[in-house]
Amino acid sequence: MEHPIVAAVGAVRSTLKSVSDANPTFMTTDDKAAALTELVRAEGQLAELRLRILADAGDLAVATATKDAAGWLAKVTHTRFSDARADLALAKALDGERPLLATAMREGDATLAQAQVIHRVLSALPSRIGADTVAHAEAHLVAQAAHFGPKELGRLGRHILEVVAPEIAEEAEARRLAELEAAAADKTRLTMRRLGDGTTRISGRVPDAAATRLATYLEAFSNPRAGADGQQGEGDPFTRLPYPRGMGQAFIQFLEAADPRRLPIHGGDATTVVVTVPFASLKAELGAADLLGSGLVPGDELTGDLITAAQARRLACTAKILPAVLGGDSIPLDLGRARRLFSPGQRKALLIRDKTCRAEGCDVPGTWCDAHHLGPWSGGGRTDLDNGVLLCNHHHHRAHDTAGFRTDRLPNGDIRFNRRR
C-alpha cells in the first residue's frame, strides 16, 4: 500500500501538471498576487516535508553504501553536495532542537531561506546561553519571519540577545567580537602573483572592518551613477562597468592617489615608487619605462615591471609615483616632482574654475579628477593654470592615448575627444 506522504506528493505533482499549460497572461492582478503568495508558502511546506524525510533517511544511506543521506540525495537528484549537506544539517536541527521553526515551515509561515538564517543565528549563540534563552530567541525570530526576509532576519539575529536576554547581551557581544577579531587577525593574508599576461592576481583575506573601509574608499573613486548591472543610462557619457571591474579600476586609482608622505619610511627614505624612462622615450609615442621594485612578487620573472612610456607620461601629470628621467648614458636628468606636479593650491584653483571633468559632456565631480597638462610636461609644457585642466580618470587615460584619440579644445575650454581612424 502506498504511503500517504508518497501519495500526497504524487497528488501535488499531478495538480501542478494540470496547470502546466495555463497562461498567466490571462490572470488578473489579484489572481497573480494570490498565486505567488500561496506558491511561496507551499514551497516552504514542501521543503519542510523534504527535510523531515531527509532527517530520518539514515537507513537509505546504509542501504546504498553512501556516506549519508545528503550524499545519496545529491547523487540521485544531481544537486550540489554542499547544498544537500547544508539541508541535512538543518533537517536534523528541525527534527530536534528547533521545533518552533519546524512548525512554522510546516504551516507555510517560514521559507527555507528564512529557516536557514534562523538556524544559523541560533547556532551562533554562545554555548553558555541557557536552553530557555535559546528557545525564547527561536520564538522571537520565527515570529519576525512573518515580517522580514532572510537578510533582515540575519541583521535582527546579530542583536537577538538584546531582545531576549539584555542583562547578558553586552558581555556576550563583547566576547563574540573579541573572538572574531582574534580569528580575523590570525587569518589575514594578502598574496600577489604575476600571471605572465600583463596582469597580477591579488588575493586577500582581511578583517571585515578593514574590508568595509577599503570598499568605502574604492567606491569613492568609482562613477557614482554606475550600477552593479553594468548598464548604461540614457545620456550618460560613460559606459558603465560591471561592479567588479569598476572596483578593480577604482583600486588602481586609489593606489595612485595614496600620499606617500603619509606612509612609513621605507629603505631609509620616504616611501616612493620610481619609474625610470629614457628622455627620448618619454617624448616619443612609443617606448617603455621600468617600474623599480620588480622581484617582490612571485612570478615576476614572467614579465618584470615594465610600463609604456605613455603610461609614464600620464603618471607624470598626477604622479604619486616619481618618474626618473634618464639621459643617453642612463644618468638621471631629473628626480624632482615640483616642476611636474600641480601644487595643492593649483588643484584647488582648477577645481574652482573647472568644477567637473572638462571632457565634453562629462560631469564627473572635479574632486574625483586629475590635473592634466594640456601641453605635455615631457614636451616642455609648464605646470601652471593656463596649461592645466581637470580630467576624470577615464578621460585622462584617453588624453594620453594619442595613438587612439585626437583632442580638440572647444571655445568654452572643454576637451572634445575624436577616435582616430
* CA 90/CA 47 separation, integer angstroms: 11
pLDDT for position 354: 86
Q: What is the Cα 202 distance to its own chain's centre?
A: 14
Residue 57 makes CB contacts below 8 A (sequence gap 6+) with 69, 72, 73
pLDDT tens digits for range 388-408: 899 988 898 888 888 888 899
Digitized pLDDT (tens) for each residue of the chain, 421 residues in all: 789 999 999 999 999 999 988 999 989 999 999 999 999 999 999 999 999 999 999 998 889 888 899 999 998 999 999 999 999 999 999 998 999 999 999 999 999 999 999 999 999 888 888 889 999 999 999 999 999 999 889 888 888 888 888 888 877 777 776 777 677 778 888 788 888 887 888 888 877 767 777 777 777 776 544 443 434 344 444 455 677 777 787 887 777 777 766 766 544 444 455 566 666 655 555 556 665 544 445 655 444 555 666 666 666 555 444 455 555 554 444 443 345 677 777 777 788 788 889 999 888 888 778 888 888 776 777 778 888 899 988 898 888 888 888 899 999 889 999 988 7
Where are the strands (E) in 89-199, listed by range? 189-194
| Residue 360, number of CB atoms within 10 A of its CB | 15
pTM of the model: 0.52
pLDDT tens digits for range 189-208: 878 888 888 788 888 887 77
Q: What is the DSSP string of 325-378?
A: EE-TTS-EEE---TTTSPPHHHHHHHHHHH-B--BTT---BGGGPEEEESS-GG
pLDDT for position 217: 75
Q: What is the DSSP string of 8-46?
A: HHHHHHHHHHHTTT--GGGS-HHHHHHHHHHHHHHHHHH
Fill in the DSSP letter of residue 232: P
pLDDT for position 231: 42
Cell of 378: 615631457
Rg (CA), the chain: 31
pLDDT for position 237: 43
What are the C-alpha distances in Å from 257 to residues 260, 288, 315, 321, 421? 9, 23, 11, 10, 33
